[in-house]
Structure 1
Amino acid sequence: MAPPAAIEVNAVTDTTAITLPDPLKAPIPKSNDIYGRRRKADKSQWGTAAPADSANFRQGNYDDKPMARRWDHYLSNEARTRKGNNLKKAARFLGTPGLISLGGGLPSSEYFPFEELSIKVPTIGHFSEAETRESGVVITAGKNDLANDKSIFDIATAFNYGQGCGAAQLLRWITEHTELVHRPPYQDWRCTMSIGSTSGLDMAFRMLSRPGDMVLSEDYTFAAAVETALPMGLRLAGVPMDEQGLLPEAMDHILSTWDVSARGARKPHLLYTVPTGQNPTGATQSAERRREIYKVCQKHDIYIIEDEPYYFLQMAPYTSSSEPDPPQPSSHAEFLASLVPSFLSLDTDGRVMRLDSFSKVISPGSRIGWITASQQIVACYQKHADLSTQNPSGMSQLIVWKLLDEHWGHAGYLDWLIFIRKEYTRRRNVILGACEKYLPREVVSWKPPMAGMFHWMQIDYTKHPDYRTKTVEEIEESIFMRCIEEGALVMRGSWFYADPDEEHSTMFFRATYAAAEGHKIEEGVRRVGRAVRREFGLEE
């Protein structure tokens, strides 16, 4: 069957966009209709360091939606006192016809030692490495394509200074994508670019907390989140989990019984969560679980930081490694409908900052991500970015924009997401089949992940020969080193404690099926199984 894009796409170029009388009164279009519904923009919108507001790129009508709550009571002193970059404010005048700029320190693109940039990329529906090698197409960006009316983004613009929100060209695409997938249910939502979700989290912590605060998260969480928080004087308070991730009743109990003197911190007002394919556990919150968590956050006035790098890697339930690939969606609408609703799509209060990134689905080295939040929070974020990271690399933005906007479009990108989901599902099935084959079930157990890149294995350390004489940490270290001796690397679960000072009565190891090829995944698991058997004195 033809890929969805081949069924649905009607090519409409940016320069021939259909002008509707009032685009905001139209419903959210299908993926192949978005380009035709774009508002016409003055050429100055695409110029060097041109300011951009993502509200200008939305296509739906939000007049009947509520306004976001204000979060002044949670903003840090740093966030409240940042005034932004005055020099960048002057950039809005650069597009004035006939203006001669003797103001900003923008280097002349005449002296950029780049005349042309060409990259070879997959055609829609032919995404594999082998197919790209054979049938991929070369797309090219010239230095002065904007001035010569060949494109709205070029080297002269992208390789110069930019705004903290990122280039308007890519910000438009990101806003359209966010609207297509999530359609936040309040009026004043905005998008702005980040240089990846770790940087986005760093800024969120700086904006919304103060030294001494505690932040709620899953009991086992993204190690970099803990390491980002600690130097700021923040600690993470772990919430118990099950196979669906964070338990809302446990979070409610923690907040309802919070003892400031015992905890040494005021009651938390932030939740950091990875709802889909959680790192490290692989857990995915169901739609009902997310609604319950959101209600608890409303009850206790908690602001949610939704970190979602694996959102599009949601998979069908695992049955057997020998089962054929599950049927692929017949349309983009079916694909999007199959995804668990995001916190952003449930957020009627504007209490969610969603962190998105191209790292897991395009390339980590692009260092391009974005946040979606209320206008108030996005404005604070942009002021912070303008005086720290500035914008993502212009070189990266140009490359990603050429691929996503000019080449694939929204339809092609959804096809790509369907493709990589299928590829990671196959790898997940390989690692689960290998675990069934090689791991001793009397001491190792697991739940099949429903999304993401990680497989979480529980070890019954009470069956270890040295259980009575060694600590849990010593047994964990011994198992870890035994795996290294056998030639396999898996990550120790203790490295992911939200609060290392809390007692933990369980032992886990994390494996990933993202990095290695199928036969290496199987061999790696075989080596882990041999290491565990040797460590526990079990027969081969």
Structure 2
Amino acid sequence: MTSQENLRPKSIDLSHHLNTLSRSRVPSPLKDIIKYMREPGMISLAGGLPHPSLFPYHSLRVDVYTPDTLDGHGQPSDASTGLTLHSEKYGDRDRTGTDISTGLQYTTSKGSERLSSFLQKFTKDVLRPGFTDFEILLNFGNTDAWSKVVSLLCEQGDYILVEEHTYPSSQALWAPMGCRGAPVQMDKDGIIPQALEQVLGGWNEAVKGGKRPRLLYLIPVAQNPTGATLTLERKKAIYDICVKYDVVICEDDPYYFLQLPAYLPPEQRAVRIATEMTPEELLEFLVPTFLHLDWQGRVIRLETFSKTLGPGNRLGYFICNPIFAERLQRASEVMTQAPAGWSQIIVEELLCTWGQEGFLRWVTGLRDSYTVRRDWMCDSLVEFFDVVSAPEGLAADVIAYPKGRISAGKTAPVFSFSYPKGGMFLWIKLDLSQNPVYQRMKANGEANAEQKWADEFWMSMIRAKVLLVPGSYYTPILSNDQRMKQDGAVAYFRLAYSLESREDIHVGIQRMARTFDESWEFRKVHLECQ
């Protein structure tokens, strides 16, 4: 153990955060039996485990890429080369991997010991938690993980701190429990620490009808939907506030390794090649996690392979203090058991074959791929709109005008956005103040004109064959029948650059620009002038 590790503390006792359900969970007796089956010489007449000879699978072979296969454009440079992963029904004493007879059998809810050991070392070496006694617990990915966090910490009617624009599936889970969102204001860099302090410090239980929130849910890197990434300074400030008010942080961080360099126009950027950045340089570039800052064990970090190895793996893991890990394990025993055996076998064999450095080389290539895709979308926005730097004080990098109209000085901007610093999304904020359709709705006394306009505009884009995600999907739920209301004549949409080709992104933004022209009636004005 290094001197630096000696300085790190153990986690503090946070058991007072456990809810009634979690406190009441008892170990599954059937899972206790499994550990005794592994004792040498044991003859088990206990567990109802199917005999592995009757599994209809003899062996597994998976052809995979080498970790440095992705080229400068994020594509496999040579699909014919790679590695082959093997797993037989019964293990070879010369191999340490999980064989099929073990991987497809009932097991403890902790899952693969070999994979967990790899992730424990990876977490220690790469993420470097601020407390020493962190534990790893496999799960089915971050959706499953968040469900278990809610069942660990939240009582019916609790308030949960959420970002001003929050991931919809996360709140669809707790809303039926009668829980309520406590939104925290954001800007282009994510949650504003002063706003968090204001929410917690000014909490009035009599007015709010509930206790001060004790759980903060956030996506700190490439936030979904806004694409915002918290700086290290903000993370430190947010963590200190959570210590002050005894708040547990749920760090849902699927895009951590997809932090991107700053966007530059085509004429200013050199060709980026994934192999130019070493794993060591990548780790220096990445903003440290909340887990790294955590000296008390109050961070529950949700890790997933969905954005690095594929969402269909349905495999992720918790990193948290021992008290939370033990209670999460008890929940897993009766809710989901262990993650799917096939996923564990394949991911374990892949990571142990690649090694820690190989996995870091792979995610470095992914980062480059999404950098290129981000640039495709930003380039197209600059091509089909007049994009200028935003004035100081606006929570965006740039503002966009209809093409060719800014020089005439006859029009206001139609939306603003920030260049994504990570992940897969670009978030636009529409200014409806000069939109004639919206103005007519307001003049006619239309109730909730902003939402009705956004719904109609979204359908007009669908008719134009370009699909965006409405910003209303990400509005925090304040209660079962109430959502947070946006201030002013604004609407939001999320654009994803992760899936489509360069050509389709280009055409999609072109179609979007035409739809903006039609809604703001710029085409009509142009025809009348002729």
Question: Normalized against structure 1, the TM-score is what?
Answer: 0.86
Distance in 1 (CA, whole Å) between partners of 2:97 and 2:68 is 26
Counterparts of 1:448 and 1:523 in 2: how far apart (Å)?
A: 20
1:219 and 2:167 aligned: no
SS of 2:342's partner is helix
| Equivalent residue for 2:450, pick from 472, 485, 491 | 472
- Deviation by residue 1:157-176 (Cα, 9 ceiling, x = unmatched): 10111221111011111111
Q: Find out whether 1:434 has 2:380 as its counterpart.
A: yes
- TM-fit CA distance, 1:62: 4.5
Aligned to 2:308: 361
Q: Work out which of the residue numbers 332, 345, 364 in structure 2 matches 1:398.
A: 345
Residue of structure 2 in register with 1:291 after alignment: 236
Matching residue's letter, 2:319: T
Q: Distance in 2 between matches of 1:483 and 1:285?
A: 32
1:28-427 mapped onto 2 (5 Å cutoff): 62-127=5-70, 130-131=76-77, 133-146=79-92, 148-322=93-267, 323-326=269-272, 330-405=277-352, 407-427=353-373
- Per the alignment, residue 43 of structure 1 pairs with none
User: 1 CA distance for matches of 2:266 and 2:469?
Assistant: 24
Displacement after TM superposition at 1:76 (Å) = 0.7
- Three-state SS of the structure 2 residue aligned to 1:79 is helix
Kindly state the Cα deviation for residue 303 of structure 1 after the two structures are TM-superposed: 0.6
Q: Residue 65 of structure 1: CA displacement?
A: 2.5
CA contact (8 A) 2:277 2:364 kept: no
Distance 1:532 1:292 in 2: 39
Q: Which amino acid aligns with 1:531?
A: T
Identity of aligned residues (%): 31
Task: Say yes or no: does 1:502 pair with 2:484.
Answer: yes
Distance 1:422 1:174, change over 3 A: same
CA distance in 2, matches of 1:486, 1:218: 32
SS in 2 for 1:468: helix
Structure 2 counterpart SS, 1:133: coil
Over residues 87-127 of structure 1, what are the superposed CA-to-partner deviations in whole Å (9 max), with x where a residue is unaligned? 11122222221211111111111101000111110123223
Matched to 1:226, the amino acid is Q
| Partners of 1:150 and 1:218 in 2: CA distance | 47
The one-letter amino acid paired with 2:330 is: K
Q: Residue 508 of structure 1: CA displacement?
A: 1.1
Q: Judge which range, 88-97 or 235-244, deviates more.
A: 88-97
Give the C-alpha shift of residue 332 in structure 1: 1.9
> Residue 470 of structure 2 corresponds to which residue in structure 1?
492
* Partner secondary structure for residue 377 of structure 2: helix
Match for residue 505 of structure 2 among 511, 521, 535: 521
Distance 1:124 1:497 in 2: 39
Q: Which residue in 2 is equivalent to 1:457?
A: 428
What is the CA distance between 1:26 and its match in structure 2? Answer: 5.6
Q: Deviations over 1:18-38 (max 9, x none)?
A: xxxxxxx268xxxxxxxxxxx
What stretches of structure 1 of length at least 5 have no aligned partner?
Answer: 1-24, 28-60
What one-letter code is carried by the residue in structure 1 that aligns with 2:50? P
SS in 1 for 2:270: coil
Evaluate the alpha carbon distance shift between residue 310 and residue 330 of structure 1 in structure 2; reply closer, same or farther with a 3 A threshold: closer
RMSD over aligned Cα, in angstroms?
Answer: 1.7
Greater CA drift, 84-93 or 450-459: 84-93
The 8 Å contact of residues 156 and 179 in structure 2, kept in 1 or not, is answered as yes
Which deviates the most, 449-458 or 325-334? 325-334
Q: Residue by residue, what CA displacement relative to the aligned partner does 1:215-254 show, whole Å, maximum 9, x if unpaired? A: 0011001111111111122121111101100011011011
Once the two structures are TM-superposed, the CA of residue 326 in structure 1 deviates from its matched residue by: 4.2
**TM-superposition CA deviations, 1:458-478 (whole Å, max 9, x none):** 111111113334300011111
Structure 2 CA distance, aligned partners of 1:70 and 1:511? 42
Asked if the contact 1:358–1:369 (Cα under 8 Å) also holds between the matched residues in 2, the reply is yes
| Contact 1:123–1:132 under 8 Å retained in 2 | no
Q: Secondary structure at the match of 2:135?
A: strand
Residue 496 of structure 2 corresponds to which residue in structure 1?
A: 512
Give the unaligned 5+ runs of structure 2. Answer: 386-399, 402-412, 442-448
Q: 1:449 is matched by which residue type in structure 2?
A: P
1:535 and 2:519 aligned: yes
Give the distance between the partners of 1:501 and 1:262, measured in 2 at CA: 17
Amino acid at match of 1:212: G
In structure 2, how many angstroms separate the alpha carbons of the residues matched to 1:255 and 1:361? 35
Deviation at 1:305, TM superposition (A): 0.3
> Contact 2:254 / 2:303 at 8 angstroms: preserved in 1?
yes
Tell me, in whole angstroms, the C-alpha distance in 1 between the residues paired with 2:6 and 2:26: 29
Superimposed CA distance per residue, residues 268-304 of structure 1 (whole angstroms, 9 cap, x where no aligned partner): 0110010000000000000001001111111111110
Provide the secondary structure at the position in 1 that maps to 2:87.
Answer: strand
Contact kept, 8 Å, 1:88 with 1:163, in 2: the verdict is yes
What whole-Å deviation, never above 9, does each CA across 1:191-210 have from its counterpart, x for those lacking one? 11110101111110111010
Question: Does structure 2 conserve the Cα–Cα contact (< 8 Å) formed by 1:122 and 1:131?
Answer: no
8 Å Cα contact 2:186-2:192 kept in structure 1 = yes
Q: Is residue 271–residue 305 contact of structure 1 (8 Å, CA) maintained in 2?
A: yes
Contact 1:191 1:378 in 2 (8 A): yes
Q: Distance in 2 between matches of 1:362 and 1:398?
A: 14
Cα drift, residue 330 of structure 1: 4.4
**Which of the residues 477, 481, 489 maps onto 2:459?**
481
Amino acid at match of 2:201: S
Instruction: Quote the Cα distance in structure 2 between the aligned partners of 1:258 and 1:140.
Output: 57
**d(CA) in 1 for partners of 2:296 and 2:228?**
26
C-alpha separation in 2, matches of 1:90 and 1:132? 48
Other structure's SS at 1:495 match: helix
AA at the equivalent of 1:283? A
Q: Given that residues 143 and 156 in structure 1 are in contact (C-alpha distance below 8 angstroms), is that contact kept between their aligned partners in structure 2?
A: yes
Distance 1:124-1:530 versus aligned 2 partners, 3 A rule: same
